[in-house]
A and B are shown apart, each in its own frame.
Chain A
Amino acid sequence: GQNIDQPTEMTATEGAIVQINCTYQTSGFNGLFWYQQHAGEAPTFLSYNVLDGLEEKGRFSSFLSRSKGYSYLLLKELQMKDSASYLCAVRDRGTDKLIFGTGTRLQVFP
């Protein structure tokens, strides 16, 4: 079966660093995605990991460990506009579908 777990809510302070974790179980892994979704808006692509290690893109970084079924999204120098939901999604090798977690709602406070 397939299962993706991530925390429901997190809070952080402007300027700080926050790490959003995602663990997954899938019968066949073919990549992990992170999406950002502001309230009332479309999810937008943040990062894609298919090999182990860290991918850095500006203030955002994403890490993957396939052996542990684990990923995290790291947000540095938090800004108020980073308040959003962050969706972890795994691409299943067999079906080629993206399976989403419930999302982590991040609130950034001044």
Chain B
Amino acid sequence: ETGVTQTPRHLVMGMTNKKSLKCEQHLGHNAMYWYKQSAKKPLELMFVYNFKEQTENNSVPSRFSPECPNSSHLFLHLHTLQPEDSALYLCASSQAGLAATGELFFGEGSRLTVL
């Protein structure tokens, strides 16, 4: 396995459901990210973890709850979502630190539809 893998690739859920998105990186990176990609909008940074510690929460509603048990795994727990939360959720990783360029390596995303 190489790169950044995300599961599931597609998810349909009702507003009262609870589901989770999973991300795993095999690149030895120490920073992981969740981004939201909606049509005709820029990629929106949601959460950042450096060395398993959350360093950024970009004013994300509490119905999105991230979890980073180790530097290779990242989860996004979803509950009581709204239809406007339907989007592509992208996970990314990078090598954090002053010497690094900060290049992001993305997974293929989880396409979420909230009914």
Residues of A within 8 A of B (CB): 4, 8, 30-31, 33, 35, 40-45, 48, 50, 87, 89, 91, 96-103
Contacts and interface: CB of A to CB of B under 8 A. Distances in A.
Interface of B: 4, 40-43, 45, 48, 56, 90, 101-109
Contacts of A4: 42
B101 A42 contact: no
Contact of A41 (B42, B103, B108): B108
A43 B40 CA distance: 15
Interface centre among B40, B41, B42, B109 (most CB of A within 10 A): B42
A100 B105 CA distance: 14
- Main secondary structure, interface of A, reads strand
Given A42-B90, A97-B56, A103 B101 contact: no
Given A97-B48, A97-B56, A45 B104 contact: yes
Given A42-B106, A45-B104, A48-B103, A102 B42 contact: yes
A101 B106 contact: no
Given A97-B56, A102-B40, A45 B45 contact: no
